[in-house]
Amino acid sequence: MMQTKVFFALGTLFVLALFVYPSNARAGIAGYPVVLVNGFQPSQLTQCPDTAQQRNDGYAYWSAFWDQHANARLDWSSCSRVETGIAQELWPQLRNISVSGLCQNGCVFVTHSTGDLVTRYLLANQAHWLTVAGLQPIKVIAVLDFGGAGGGDSLASLAIQVANNNAWYLDPIKAAIKAWLGYDIYGSRHLGVLNDLTPGMARSIATVPSMIPHLRFVGGGYEYLGVTKPFLPGRDDSVVALQSSCGAAQFGSYDSCVSWETMGGKQTGTSAPSALWYNYYPVLMGDDTNHSGLIGKQTGVRLAPVDNRFVIGQLGVDFSTASRVDKPWWAFWSSGTTYVYVPGSESRSMSQTVYNTLNH
């Protein structure tokens, strides 16, 4: 009987250990646990998900790469507004992270698309929310923003326009929005976070400078057969333009995150933001990386480094770099054109390249 009790007790402890130390307990980056914050999910506008569906959608959103390297997710619904419904959805999840002590020594947040805007609002308020509740605020070392839409998205403005106007002269816009969302939005009453994603609104949410560094990873590739590109200013990843993904302080039409280098790594002058938001650092640009490819499995893109070789806590941003000079054989008078790139990056996805480097 005693032996049975001992085995039962050991079994109970084992189950508790599995609960306290889940299979991804060793996941993370450079020793810091990773917390994921998803982006806009169009299907959630057609039917607002319950908590269980939000969890399922959150897992599916990150399943291509990041979920296996994460310790927690903050799931939110696209049919809600940032400062009301989304904040309420995130509160119990934040409370659980605080109580668990997961980020006691610091966490790294990884966001995609509208997750950038949601996280900016969240980090501007979480210390107050948790302190009032008698809990420890979450310590965040850095935020990795892939295709960040915190500066707003012109497609959101157009989606709202065609949701309320079915005029024939808007057919090109309607086709682009349908390609992006996957359905015809005309007549939809649930526009949720699209209202916050318009550039004017997005740039008015949580604008106080943050002490938390935001590392930006930017694409310029084609998706949806390119039908969305004519409606976005400057270069874009088919969903988010550089005015947002680079972290530009002002809305504008830009061809690169920096004025001395193109998205393909060519060392030459180009149009770029004159200023970025405080503590925002464009780190990598992928000339042909599209919006979903930033966190997905897209390969074949030679990435161009921008801000590089600096340290945040134990997080070392140190991408290997190489350069090549292209010069036509007949142009003997020319010094050629120099390109700077991350060697070997074309054989990996952008997320894989980022993870391998930051987790060394």
328-349 pLDDT, tens digit per residue, is 767 666 778 999 999 999 999 9
Residue 332, both tokens? 């003997």
Residue 19 is predicted with a pLDDT of 30
Pairing state of beta strands 214-219 and 140-146? parallel
How do residues 278-314 score in pLDDT, each as one tens digit? 999 999 999 999 999 999 999 999 999 999 999 998 8
Average pLDDT over residues 99-117: 98
Distance CA 45, CA 189 (A): 9
Task: Give CA separation, 348 vs 82, 343, 355, in Å.
Answer: 34, 10, 11
Nearest partner of 322 among 354, 337, 344, judged by Cα: 344
The Cβ of residue 279 has, within 10 Å, a number of other Cβ atoms equal to: 15
Pairing state of beta strands 322-326 and 337-341? antiparallel
Residue 336 is predicted with a pLDDT of 80
Residue 25 is predicted with a pLDDT of 54
For 346, list phi and psi in degrees, rounded to 5. Answer: -70, -15
Which residues does 86 contact at the CB level (< 8 Å), separation at least 6? 76, 77, 80, 118, 121, 193
Can you list the positions of beta strands (E) in the chain? 34-37, 72-74, 107-112, 140-146, 214-219, 280-286, 304-305, 310-312, 315-317, 322-326, 337-341
For 109, list phi and psi in degrees, rounded to 5. Answer: -90, 135
Name all contacts of 28-31 with Cβ < 8 Å and 24+ positions apart: 28/69, 28/70, 28/71, 28/108, 28/359, 29/69, 29/108, 29/315, 29/355, 29/358, 29/359, 30/108, 30/313, 30/314, 30/315, 30/316, 30/358, 30/359, 30/360, 31/314
Distance CA 266, CA 261 (A): 5
CB 63 within 8 A of CB 70: no
Q: What sign results for the dihedral spanned by CA atoms 218, 222, 224, 227?
A: positive
Provide the residue count of the chain: 360
Distance CA 237, CA 319 (A): 22
Indicate the average pLDDT of the chain: 92
How do residues 128-152 score in pLDDT, each as one tens digit? 999 999 999 999 999 999 999 999 9
Angle at 348 between CA 277 and CA 43, to 5 degrees: 65
Distance CA 266, CA 302 (A): 12
Tell me if the pTM is above 0.85.
Answer: yes
**In 101-226, which ranges are continuous DSSP H helix?**
115-132, 154-163, 171-181, 194-197, 199-202
Category of 226 on φ-ψ map: left (φ > 0), alpha (ψ -120 to 50) or beta: left
Can you list the positions of beta strands (E) in 196-354? 214-219, 280-286, 304-305, 310-312, 315-317, 322-326, 337-341
CB 110 within 8 A of CB 28: no
Residue 10 is predicted with a pLDDT of 34
Residue 327 is predicted with a pLDDT of 72
Nearest partner of 272 among 290, 253, 249, judged by Cα: 253
pLDDT bin (cut points 50, 70, 90) of residue 103 is: very high
Nearest partner of 249 among 209, 289, 212, judged by Cα: 209
